[in-house]
Amino acid sequence: MKTEKPVIGFIGLGVMGNSMASNILKAGYDLLVYNRTKSKSDSLVAKGAKWKDSPADIAVNSDLVISMVGYPGDVEEIYFGECGIIENMKKGGIIVDMTTSKPSLAEKIYDEAKKRGIYSLDAPVSGGDIGARDGTLSIMAGGDRKVFEEVLPVFKLMGKNIVWQGKAGSGQHTKMCNQIAIAGNMMGVCEMLAYAEKAGLDPKRVLESIETGAAGSWSLSNLTPRMIDGDFKPGFYVKHFIKDMNIALEEARSMQLNTPALKLAKSLYDLLEKEGKGNCGTQVLYELISRY
């Protein structure tokens, strides 16, 4: 990647991606954008980003391509084939997939990119819509350390806790650790709130007492107020959390690791999806738990 500010292509402008791309644009980078639903790029184009008609068009014109899409299938679609990023990226370019996806897919992208003289990182994030908006995401990266160091100034526009985890796929494995911890914690947060309300307590006062103690967590501090207010808009979609838990369960099985809390959490979120709540935020689990 060239030493002056690289031209950055950003693919995937959803709840997270739009804010992440906006923070890059604010820093003065030339930004090219693509999204399947073009209208989601309107606010960025109005601020100076340039629309491109395909992932291939993004790749041809960028020094660094960042993707933040929904599912592993979406990642495969934009990276592989004649119209994919890898086939059309210039030699010496860098590709960074920030989607939460399969570690094995991150390794496949790395290997195919390397054959063409392209550098690759997997760098999933945590921190939800608030972290994306404020540029305070946790970024967990896998790939070559030298490439990570080169992209670090761009990562710092989107996150605060930025850690290189090791070889290709390590970022995705680390994100699975993150999602496993969240899955168990979300059940506890929802049960806590249901208990507080059944006991006749003021839930806001309960939160004030416990969020800075041993029970403290990001989910407790950031999602409990939304639950109290009946706000189930997505900072992170139920459907995407189910996707992540499926990946984690698959990886755990391959390592012969039993994860009972993860299995239980997934079964609860599956019920929510069957109720048509896949597009709600993960905090909607409170609705299900408070019924019982």
Which candidate in 52, 102, 108, 175 is catalytic? 175
Indicate the burial class of 96 (C-beta count within 10 angstroms; 0-12, 13-18, 19 or more). Answer: buried
Known catalytic membership, residue 5: no
At a CB cut-off of 8 Å and minimum separation 6, what does 232 contact?
A: 226, 277, 280, 281, 283, 284, 287
163 DSSP β-pair partners? 140
CA distance 162 to 121: 13
Q: Are 81 and 89 in contact (CB under 8 A)?
A: no
Sign of the alpha-carbon dihedral angle for 48, 13, 75, 257: positive
Nearest to 21 by CA among 37, 3, 43: 43
Residues found in the chain: 292
Around Cβ 57, how many Cβ atoms within 10 Å? 16
Q: Which residues are catalytic?
A: 175
